[in-house]
Every structure is written in structure tokens, then in C-alpha cells.
Chain A
Amino acid sequence: MQILKKTNLKALEKAIKIGPQETIKILETKGLTGRGGAGFPTAKKWLFALNSQSDEKFVICNADEGEPGTFKDKFIIENNPETLVEGILIAATTISAKKAFIYLRGEYSHLEPKLKKAIKLVTQKSKAGIEIELVIGAGAYICGEETALIESIEGNRGQPHYQPPYPVVKGLWDKPTIVNNVETLTCAAQAILFDDWNTYLRLFSVSGNVTKPGVYELPFNVKLSEIMKLAQPKNKVKAVYFGCYGGCMPYKDIELTPENVCGESCIHGSCSIIVVDETNSILDLSYVVSKFFAYESCGKCTPCREGTIRALMIVRKIRSGQATEEDLKILQELGEHIGQTSLCGLGKSATNHLLTSLKHFRHDFEERLR
């Protein structure tokens, strides 16, 4: 696997030798984009932070991998933490930050010793004089959102705030800050060192009704049938969920290009595939996912705080057979409303799953109406 290739501090050496501008140029030509889900060009982000004037800058590695059905970052931390740490050091030297943070998901605290060992090993060997601090989250999904993550490191309530100002201008303690995903930073180190590094190879987290769940490295526009061949579903596949926030679509053998996925009103940014077979009702899944979003809403803005719980209550009503056509209409309206008017990414995508299941699997809902 490409992601497991070790760089052994050579990438950092190269980055220091060629300087920040050249380093960023390499990332730009290699076409590295954010792997956390949004897909923002990494070179651009680093350039913004480099150009922000400040006495102090920070780098944060976002290892708060909270998305249900996503576990690629865990895979990297388990198998190639040294390259990850090197990637952080490269980012820090590029924007001349003296301190970096790794924000590790609370549920991953068992990875702490391994990660700490790698941090100690690589930072000492590198002699770059950059300190890396490991911060462990307390289990909130919202803290994967970069502004909420920053608040959490500062010791405040983990709630997002609006952008701009973007973290690259005003981030941690109001200083320019790069927030990058684990996979992005690891890839950055590899992209700088290896000439044959391929930006199209992605880590897919495959789970659900399959016999061989796990992390697969595949081209990002792989056909869904290829994934199924590897993961071996138990029964006939009914639908796939792209994580929870990405929504769901009926199983079709399509290439996972952004256009194709968007055509089904889904997002597949972090490449997580949850396979659902014929034995499951989409309504039941909607209930579970709605519960997840209502529970994980931070409570800051009205549509998400009040809306997600109302959506959950309606789905529950439908499941109990008490709902009418009117409720379905309200659900649709709520779904659109929460997506359009919420403050952060969580709220904006909290009802994607509802809207897509109402679009593709309306029958599952309607058969339970009164």
C-alpha cells in the first residue's frame, strides 16, 4: 500500500532544503487535497497560513475521526505513525510554526502510547525544534469540525463558530493555524519524497453487511462493484451509505466520481462505504442515524439543536406506525431547512441521510404510515 511507505525523515530533509515555497509547489503539482471530507487543496491552505503575518503559528493534526463507518486514520496511526509525525513536522517547518498538536479522538485513547512513542522518536531524530503535543478529545463528534476542535484545544466548550475568519488567518489562540487530517499529513510527507506518489489512491473504509470489512486502498473513482468484490457482502446489496453525513444511494455499479455520487445527492469525501443489504429497512437505519445526529448536535444554532430532535421524533413516529403523509412532508421540509440554515458542517449535513433516503427509498417510509 502506498500509504504504508515510510519516509524516514528524508521528506523533512528535502522540505527544509527546498524551502516553503517549493514544498507547497510540489503539493500543488501532485494535487494533494484534504482527506477529511471537504477536499480543500492542501497547497492552498498551507500557502494561506504561510502568507499570514504573525509571531506565532500552529499546526493541528485532526485525528478526531468521529464519522460512523470511517476508520482509515486509525489504520494509519496504527501502521505508519512515524510518517504522520513527519508530515506534521513538514507542515510546521513550511509555515514556520514552533508548535503542533495532534487532536486524538477520545475513543482512540488506546493508540496514545504508540503515537507518543512515534512523536518522541521522530521529533528527537529530526532536530527541527518543533514540539508536538497530543490532545485527547472527550468524545464529541462536533470536535472534528475544525473551529470546534480549536475551541476544544483552547479548553472551551467544543462548539463551532462561523467562518471567515478562517483558521489559517485566525485559528488557535487567534494565531494562523493549519488544521489537516491524518491521511492528508501522511500523504504530504510521501508526496514530497516519492516521485511516483499517486494522488488518486485513497483509503476506503468499508463496513456494514460484508464479510471482509476493513481499509482498502483503491483509486478514488473505483467502481462500487470492485469494492463489493473485495469486501464480499453477505446478501444482495440494497444500498450504500457514504458514512452518515454523506447520505445513501441504492446500490448501482457506478464509478465513484464526484459527479456520479453528487448525481445521487450524496457526498463521499472521506471515502467511507457502509454496505446495507436487503435484510435491513432503510427506515430503521434512518432512525439510528437521526439519533446519532440529534445526540451529537452541539446545541449552538437553532435549526440543528431544535431541528435534529424534531426529525428524530418524526422518524420514531413513522416507525411506530402513527405518522401520516403530513409528517413525511414536515420531515422533508425540516431536512431541507436544517441543511440550508445550520451554522457548521455537522448541521449542514445532518439531514443528508434523511433527504437521500426519502428520495431513493420513500417506499420504506410510506409503507409504515397510518
Chain B
Amino acid sequence: MKIKLDNKEIECGQDKTLLEICLQNGIKIPTLCYQESLKPEARCRVCLVEMDGKLVTACSTYPKEGCSIITESEKVMKARRMNIELIMAGHVKTCSLNVSSNQLCTILEQIGLTGIRFDPIRDYEEDLGSAVIREDNKCINCGRCVKTCADIQAVYAIDFANRGFNEHVAPYCEHKLSDVACIKCGQCILHCPVGAIREREHLYEVIKSLKDKRKKVIVQTAPSIRVTLGEEFGMPPGSLVTGKMVAALRKCGFDKVFDVDLGADMTIMEEASEFLSRVKKNGPFPMITTCCPGWILMMEHFYHELIDNDNMSTCKSPHEMLGMLTKTYYAKKQGINPKDIVVVSIMPCTAKKFESTRPEMKSGVNYVLTTRECAKLINHFKIDFKNLPDEDFDPSLGISTGAGVIFGATGGVMEAALRTAYEFGTGEELKKIEFHEIRGMNGIKEGSVSIKGKTIKFAAAHGGANARKLMEMRKNYHFIEIMACPGGCIGGGGQPPHSTLETLKKRAEAIYSADKSLKLRKSHENPIVKQIYKEFLGEPLGKKSEKILHVRYFKKSQF
């Protein structure tokens, strides 16, 4: 149909909203509550435009044949300004957050608000969770966190409480976030336009440890960090910055830089062996991966029968495995007292912060930093990240395989485990090592492989809502991988914010190209893994590895 956009006649589709039409025609309209991929709510009323003289919200309005849209008239600007003023009046006055990713700050710059004529009226307590912190005083009630938690993650940990000007986001019955069934995935952080939700930062503690001469501070980086850290320094999505990242961390003063990919290889050794022992015993199936701490929390809160039926793998997550190995194997080898070692994990994840404080984990990891915190740390030491020369991980615990790298994307754990399980199970070499059916951004992916005449059906899901769907039909499969965040770790709650499906795809591409570029692509081919088993652990699922690399989980309340 034909419409007039800012007095220019254009052709547009009927099924596109005004916001999408404007974007297609290169007109940027400020938004706060709008979130790509979710149904618009039209709460914030900032995206106002004039349609045939009437003010309408661009995100929720469809064009009418022959209508005239004006996007920047005085009437529109005045209304937008007023709404922003009302929002700002409710927003905390001393907000110090002024970062480029903060949408409200960006809009403030564009809109030319001269002053706020209303006094602050709200005063809420901060909700200091163990991994995620909420500041209601900054919240502008856009509802994106609520929708993310419900529609993308299907966790329903937070919702609106009360009414009118008392309306605010709150966990169940206005409890604290740490007291309710929250999986700490941090997706709400990624979608908050004002920084009212953030991770519990451990930067201060890490910097303090770095300054402590008696401590040996070891950093280990997760597989997905290398494809996302560049974005924090203005590089395009999907830039592979492994070398620069290692160099920067060394410059920060870390004594050793280890690669969690090695931990991932260890996880695969244990997990593949565990799976094969289940195949031998004919159950219990399905076996479900436990690399994702968000998913573990979801299971503990909502899927108690998985614990009863022993469906969960007992393997710790890769960084916990590597943390333990650093404090046992590495410490022994180097003759260092484990108490003098501080292990810092750089993770794409907020739930990992919680994971390392679990009492049953007896964790070897002291602090977990997110990708965003890592960037802050690098900026703190005033390091010119973009122009650093590439460096390699410390070889003692820093050699890894392609199987470890692909842990960062959804389906990766499954693919890596299958590469090893197939060769362990059949004793033959796996010819086609890429499992394309398990890659990509479809919510639930499945496939099958034959090991010694037995058909193994496997599936992978990412995002809480998809995980719930897959759990409904779990009986059809032998082996299931679940990642709580959309896209897997590359879309984790600790990653650079405001990621679209496009950025996720680019990050995944980078992960798979990193895998392809490596010579060793199967976990059991890793020389260090072989060495660790030979010198220290004995064999997968052996007595020693059971003690330090495995853990069991407990049921938690559904509310």
C-alpha cells in the first residue's frame, strides 16, 4: 500500500508496524520498551509519531492506506519530551550510569530535555541478589525484563506488583530475588534499557587480589568470551579476539592465563564416558548436560523428577573443573600452596557467579567476572585493547581443541560429546565430525547417530522457554543438551547487551570458524588432557575424578 512518510510517498507492506517502516526508510525513532522478537507492549510511549494528525505509538500501530505519518513535528517532539520528563522524574536523580549502551541516556541526549519539573517520589530498597542486583529506583517500568523472564526464559521470576504509580517490578510476593525461583541467567540485564538490573560485580575484589604480591592470580576465559569481548571495544560482532584478550589479561597483571576450553575438553572426557556407561547399562535416559548453571537452577526449581530419575549428568561445568585442576594438579606440579592461588573466571554468565558459591560445589574458582566486567577491568588498567599484539594462553593448562571452543554456542556441548563418545564407543575414527543438524538458532534441534548398532537420539535446546518444550518430550531422546540463554553462552547474561538474532548468528559463526581453524578438534586428542589423566586422575569416572570433577544437585522450592 501507499502511505506518506514525512511528506514523501512510499510503498510499504500491510503487516509492518510504523516503527519497522520508519527503520526501513532510515528514520530512527527512540524506543525504550520495544524489544525485537517480542510482541510490543506500547508501555513507554516514547516512540510516538503523528498519524493523520493523531499521536500514535509507532511500535504498535499499523499503517492505513493513504495515511500520512509525520515523525518529527513539534507536536511529536513535545509529547516525547514530556514522556521522557515523566520517566526521568521517576528515575533516580543521582543516576551515575552514563554509558553508550544505556538507551535512556542516549535518548536524553537526542531529545533536548532542559529540566525536570517534578520531584522524585519513589524510594525502594535495592535487591542485592547473589548474582543479579535490581535497583527499583532506576527502573522505569518498561516491562522488558518481565517479558524476557516470562516469554523468552519461561521462568516467571519477576512480574509487576501493585498498581498505578506504585507499580514496580518485583519477584514473587515482593520477596528478594535470591529467595525466589530465579535461575540467575541474567537475560533481564541484557534487555534493561536503563541499567536498573546488573550483575553483582567482583571487580574490586579481583583488583585487590592482583595487587597482593603473595597471591598467584590465575585467570581462565570461557570459550565464548573470545568472540564477544571485541564488541565492548567497538569491534563488529563476531570478531575473534583470542590473542588480544590473552595479551590484555596478562597486561592487567594476571600471573597465568588459562583456557576454559581445556576444562571443556575435560568435561567431554567425563561426560562422554558417563554417557557410554549409561548406554552399556541401558539407562537412565535421557542423560542431560549440566554445563549451564542457569539450566541447573531451572532443573532444581522446576524439574525434581530429573533428580529422582538420575537424568542429570554429574559432571561439573568446564570452568569449575579447570578451577579444581588448577588448585590440585597444577598447584602440586608447581609446588604452590593452593591457598595462595586465586582463580578468576571470565564468563559470559551471571549464574556462574552463583554456581561458584554453591556449598556442594566446593569450588576452586574464587571470583567470576562477566564479559562486561572483563572489559571494565581492561579499561581500568587503561589498556589499548584494539592495538594489542596477539599472545597465546599459558601452555601448562592452555592447550585446547575445537571441541572445547564450540561449547560457546548452542548445540556445541552435544557436538563435542558426540565426537568423543562415538570414537570411545565404536573404537573407530569419526569421519564426519561436524554435526550440522545440532547447530544454528532453531529453538530445538535434534538428530541421531549410530554407535555399535544402537541408534542414539540427541537433542539440544537454548532459552528457557525452549528448554521447557524439550522437557515435555524428553522421553524420546537419549542425550539432551540445554543452555538457559538464547544462542547458548554467546547470548549469555554476562555478554555485551542488546544483542539481536543477527549478532548471535555472527558470534556463532566466529565460534565455528575458530573450531575449523584448529588442528585438534576432538577432546580426547588434547595432549594436556591425556597428560592429566596419565599423571593425576587415572581414568575418566575414576575415584579421583569422581571426587573433584563431579557433583550432585538438590531439589529447591518452585516458588
Contacts and interface: CB of A to CB of B under 8 A. Distances in A.
B42 A333 contact: no
B86 A140 contact: no
Interface stretch (A6-14, A274-282, A293-301, A362-370): A293-301
Contact of A305 (B79, B159, B164): B164
Interface stretch (B3-11, B43-51, B200-208, B516-524): B43-51
A141 to B, nearest CB: 10
Given A298-B164, A310-B118, A341 B141 contact: no
A299 B142 CA distance: 10
A340 interface: yes
A305 B45 contact: no
Nearest to A142: B163
B165 interface: yes
B117 A297 contact: no
Interface string B143-179: 0000000000000000110111111000000000000
B41 to A, nearest CB: 7
Contacts of A301: 42-45
B44 A294 contact: no
A300 B166 CA distance: 11
B164 A302 contact: no
Contacts of B61: 162
Contact of B83 (A157, A296, A302): A302
A307 B117 CA distance: 12
A218 interface: no
A343 interface: yes
Given A303-B45, A343-B42, A162 B86 contact: no
Interface residues of B, number: 32
A337 B82 contact: yes
Contacts of B141: 299, 302, 305
Interface residues of A, number: 30
A121 interface: no
A152 to B, nearest CB: 13
A245 to B, nearest CB: 16
B124 to A, nearest CB: 14
Contact of B164 (A157, A297, A337): A297
Interface in B109-145: 117-118, 121, 140-141
**In this complex, which of A296, A298, A299, A308 has the most chain B Cβ atoms within 10 angstroms of its Cβ?**
A299
A152 B41 CA distance: 17
Contacts of A307: 86
Contacts of A162: 42, 57, 60-61
A283 B45 CA distance: 30
Interface in B44-97: 44-46, 48, 55, 57, 60-62, 79, 82-83, 86-87, 89-90
A341 B57 CA distance: 8
Interface in A145-161: 157, 161
Nearest to A310: B118
B87 A302 contact: yes
Contacts of B165: 294, 297, 299, 305-306, 308-309
Contacts of A341: 45, 48, 55, 79, 82-83
Given A161-B41, A301-B42, A305-B164, 5 more contacts: A162-B61, A299-B165, A302-B43, A313-B121, A337-B79
Interface of B: 41-46, 48, 55, 57, 60-62, 79, 82-83, 86-87, 89-90, 117-118, 121, 140-141, 159-160, 162-167
Which 9 residue pairs are nearest across A and B when measured between Cβ atoms? A299-B167, A306-B86, A297-B164, A309-B165, A162-B60, A337-B82, A299-B164, A302-B45, A302-B83
